[in-house]
Structure formats: structure tokens, C-alpha cells
Structure 1
Amino acid sequence: MDAGGVLFNNVTEETDFLDRLAARHGADTQRLRGEIDARDAAYETGRAHVHDVLRDALAAAGAPAGVAVDARWLDDLYRDCLAVHPGAFTAIDGIRRHRPDILLVLTNNEAAHWDRVKDDRYGHLGRFDVIASSWQVGEVKPTGEFFEAVARRCGRPLDDAVLLDDNPDVLAEARHHGLRTLHVESPATLPEAVARLLDFPATAADTKGRT
């Protein structure tokens, strides 16, 4: 299961996170977005801390030389922009209730630090049996190397796996690598979609949004 766009909003894509980051440090927002896109694999795979990558991206996007980034301010900004999708958490609860045989795996492209910031508030990491996000497996979705690394992390092939994700390009590539997929277009309807996919009855408890 993906996180950004499924469990949570996509902070850098759906909020004013980058606008506020750029404005505080005298950088251009559009240039900053491009500079981060060029560098995001470094923090997603754990090769660099996300704070360091953002500082380098700010400098490349017009911030003054030697720009300093306050770590506490940056984390507070991220928390302020973060929003949870209760329906996705409800879907996980439904799977646990009706299909305890299912291995729940988190497969997100994310910085380890941001995942921990989210976990401190919402405890999402503990809801999964396996954490196979990019920072844990050292590869980024949706490469073949990523799915191979996820299989190793799970200790089993992905022949019967189903990827839940909001990104159509990621889903298409996953199907190319032999996975079944479920396009999460609206996290609010995910409890019913998961119940249909896994063939269990959706009770009132399974469709009531909660975290």
C-alpha cells in the first residue's frame, strides 16, 4: 500500500509547503520544485537526510549562498501541511478484521524522516506487517529493482500481491512486473473497494472513517 495520496495527502504536490519553504529562504518556488525532483531519490533511498537535500535544492533555486534551514521550523511546516485520509486507515482495520491472513506491506516513496514525523502523530508504521518503503529497501517505486527488493523484504514472491496506489503510472508499471493493482482514486471509498477486492462483507465498522 502506498502512503502519499492514500493514507495521507501528498504534501509537496497538494499543499503550499514548497511556496512557504521558498518564501522563507528567498528561493523561487518553481525552480525549487524542479531541483527537488532532481534530488528526491537521494532522500527517498536513505542516501541523504531530507533536510540536507532541501537545503541544497534551496541554494540551487536562488536562495542566498550558505542558506541555513531550521530543522524544527521545517518539521513544523511539514506537520502543518500534512493531512490524514481516515478511509484508508479504516480499510486497513477492515483487512485486519476479516482477512488476518493478508500480509500488509507499506510501499511508499518517502524520506525516512518524513515517515517518522507522520508516525509520531498517526502511528501508521505499526499498522503494517512489513515496511518496504523506498528508504527501507534502497530503491524507488516503480522500478523492477524496487519490486524485487520488496519481495526480498517480505520473504516471498509477489505473485499474489496487490498494489494499492493513487498514481496511474506506478500502477501500470506494477502490472508490467506481474502485480495486481487497485487504483485509489478516492481514499474515502477505499474500505468498500478493499472489501470487494478481498471478498469480505463491509460492515458498518468497516466503512466508518476513523484513524
Structure 2
Amino acid sequence: MGIVAGVITTVLWDCDGVLQHSPHDWAEALERIGGGPQFATALFEAEKTALRGERSLRDVVDELLQQRPTGASTQDVLALWAMFVEDEDAWEVVDAVRAAGVRCVLATNQQDVRVEIMRHERGYDDRVDGAYYSSEVGHMKPSAEYFEAVLDDLGITPEQALFVDDSAANIATARELGIAVVHHDPASGAQVLREEIAEFLRL
């Protein structure tokens, strides 16, 4: 195991759709607590301020429920973000990459509520060599500013990084910056993920 040609030193891992998955359909979940499709659209648009770290998600949800009462409480809505499942098979790929001597960091869009859960309840930070949650970076993918801030903090060039994500928009920005990319299909499973990574690293 090891690095091919000694170029890639760091893998940037997206979380949702790669290392973890939601067991519920958001539209259906929100419908069950009284919010319809329009509420879901408004919620995800409003969440962007929290994803960039400009506001707390609780404040965002409080304000939205005042504007669009659903009968649900703020805590009912926030609880939906805790409903995700770690993909342990995918995490084993992360372990293999680290064992090969390659640094692994999380590069993920997350607001403060999710960061708290992922860091302190699920222990994600202890499983990698660093974590770049968008709400702490101050920028969110797919902005170039997000990737530039991460690379700058890591002290590496784009050519030294490999970015793994399921989002075409995020992948496009990373590629434009000169970062090697793996556009992972969540439905393809961890074995395919390992094969995709192996195109760049010996695992």
C-alpha cells in the first residue's frame, strides 16, 4: 500500500452520500411533522446561512417556524438532522487510506447542529486527521473559497489533494482548481469507492 508517484498526500472526504447516509426522505419526514414541500424548500434555502456559519441552525429554524407555522417544534425539525447512519464499509476505506500513509480529512457542508452530533456524539473527528466543516470554515461547497481555505490551512497545493464527493457541482469546482476528484455514486457501495480511490492510491 502507498502513494502513487508521491503526489497525492491528502484525501478530502465528503460525508453525506459518501461516509454517511440518510435513512429517510426529507420531504416525507417533513410532511410527517407538518411541513409540506414548500416548507422543505424554504428550510433548505434558509439552512445555507447556517452552513456558511453565519447563523445557528436553531435560530434559522425558529425564524422559519414563526413565518410558516407547521405545528412542529424547533426541536422536532432539528431532530431530523440526527437521523443519519454511518457507512462503516466506507469508513473502512478511509482506514485503509490512512494506513497507507495518506492524510484523510473531512471536507463537508455541515451546520452547527450536525457538527455537534458528528464531532461529539459520533466521534468523527477522532477517525480522521482533520475536519473542515463548512460552518467553521465560513464558506460552503461548491464555492472555490471553501476549497482554497482548506488547502491553505493544510499547506498543500491542489495537485497534492484528492477530493471524494457525490455532488457534481462540488466535483466540478474542485476539478477546476486542479484537485484530483472521485465523483462517487452513493448507490454503488464501498467496494466501488475503494476501486475509485485505488485509481489514485495503492490500497
Which interval holds the TM-score relative to the shorter structure?
Answer: 0.7 to 0.9
Q: Partner residue of 2:109?
A: 109
1:142–1:3: structure 2 CA closer, same or farther, 3 Å change rule? same
Q: Does 1:96 align with 2:63?
A: no
Q: Any idea what SS the aligned residue of 1:182 has?
A: strand
SS in 2 for 1:4: coil
Question: Which residue is equivalent to 1:30?
Answer: 37
In structure 2, the residue matched to 1:69 is 73
The answer to whether structure 1 residue 52 and structure 2 residue 59 are counterparts is yes
- How many angstroms apart in 2 are the aligned matches of 1:37 and 1:77? 13
Does the Cα contact within 8 Å between 1:159 and 1:178 map onto a contact in 2? yes
Aligned length: 188
Question: Is 2:61–2:74's contact at 8 Å kept on the other side of the alignment?
Answer: no
Which TM-score applies when normalising by structure 1?
Answer: 0.77
For structure 2, which runs of at least 5 residues remain unmatched after alignment? 1-12
Cα pair distance change 1:139/1:168, threshold 3 Å: same
Question: Cα deviations across residues 45-103 of structure 1 (Å, max 9, x unaligned)?
Answer: 2221112212323344x316xx77353x4554433x31221222011110122x22x22
After TM superposition, the structure 1 stretch with the greater mean CA deviation from structure 2, 121-130 or 173-182, is 121-130
Following the alignment from structure 1 to structure 2, what is the Cα–Cα distance between the partners of residues 151 and 184? 21
- Pairing 1:15–2:24 present: yes
Alignment match, 1:167? 167
CA contact (8 A) 1:106 1:130 kept: yes
2:87 to 85, 88, 92: 85
Please give the root-mean-square deviation of Cα atoms over the aligned residues, in Å. 2.3
- Report the AA paired with residue 81 of structure 2: Y
- Kept after mapping to 2: 8 A contact 1:7/1:84: yes
Q: 1: distance between equivalents of 2:39 and 2:144?
A: 29
Aligned equivalents of 1:48, 1:38: Cα separation in 2: 13
Determine which structure has greater relative contact order: mean sequence separation of CA pairs < 8 Å that are 6+ residues apart, divided by chain length: 2
Could you tell me which residue of structure 1 aligns to residue 128 of structure 2? 128
Which is richer in strand? 2
**In the alignment, what sits opposite 2:198?**
195
Distance 1:114 1:107, change over 3 A: same
Q: CA deviation at 1:23?
A: 4.1
Give, as a single letter, the amino acid of the residue that structure 1 aligns with 2:135. Answer: W
1:5 to 6, 17, 28: 17
Which SS does the other structure have where 2:108 is aligned? coil
Aligned to 1:209: none
State the Cα deviation string for residues 18-61 of structure 1 (Å, max 9, x = none). 5444543x43x21122212322221112221112212323344x
Percent identical pairs in the alignment equals: 25
Partner SS, residue 162 of structure 1: strand
Q: TM-score under structure 2 normalisation?
A: 0.80
Deviation of 1:110 (Å): 0.8
